[in-house]
Amino acid sequence: MQRRFSFLFPAPCGPNGFSMIILLFRLMFGAMLLYHGVEKIIHFDELSLHFMNFAGLGPKFSLILSIFAEAGCSIALMIGFLCRLSILPLIFNMFMATFFAMPHAPYKMMELPLIYLLGFVILYLAGPGKFSIDYLIRERLDQEHT
């Protein structure tokens, strides 16, 4: 193909290119949500008084679960460790934030958690890619079984 059209009609990226995109996506979404988790840790005392009371667990325990998802699971996602397992609490957390924490909020308030929710669903479906601890574990397990 002529060089001038290669920008408009790029060739599909190979496995390494796709894995690099997934890595960048994991790092970006993980780091952005980690920021929110750290903010919740810093402001724990004041947030625990009025945080959403999920399933009658109480605002304080609900906040702890949210911090676990936003801080702990985000770190696991960024390093690529148990990605699909660590994404499940993130998806659940963003689903709750989008549809239950502020059920009557205008779309503008729901937009950010909805973007996170979509990003985490895409990452769940795509998997961790080659540049992850999960991939290294998979390679090791495959070698042991051959």
Please, are residues 29 and 120 in contact by the beta-carbon 8 Å criterion? yes
- Tens digit of pLDDT for each residue in 4-18? 777 777 777 777 899
Q: Is residue 98 a part of any domain in this protein?
A: yes
Q: Is residue 58 a part of any domain in this protein?
A: yes
Please, are residues 37 and 71 in contact by the beta-carbon 8 Å criterion? yes
* Residue with more model confidence, 103 or 1: 103
Q: Is residue 88 a part of any domain in this protein?
A: yes
Q: Is residue 38 a part of any domain in this protein?
A: yes
Cβ partners under 8 Å of residue 83, min gap 6 = 26, 76, 77, 123, 127, 128, 132, 134
Q: Is residue 117 a part of any domain in this protein?
A: yes
Q: Residue 55 belongs to what domain range?
A: 17-144
Q: Is residue 113 a part of any domain in this protein?
A: yes
Look at the block and give the residue holding tokens 């929110």: 36
Look at the block and give the residue holding tokens 């934030």: 97
Confidence of residue 106 (pLDDT cuts 50, 70, 90): confident
pTM of the model: 0.87
- pLDDT computed for residue 2 by the predictor: 64
Please, are residues 119 and 25 in contact by the beta-carbon 8 Å criterion? yes
- Tens digit of pLDDT for each residue in 25-57? 999 999 999 999 999 999 999 999 999 888 889
Number of domain units in the chain: 1
Look at the block and give the residue holding tokens 């999920």: 54
- pLDDT computed for residue 131 by the predictor: 95
Q: Is residue 8 a part of any domain in this protein?
A: no
Q: Is residue 111 a part of any domain in this protein?
A: yes
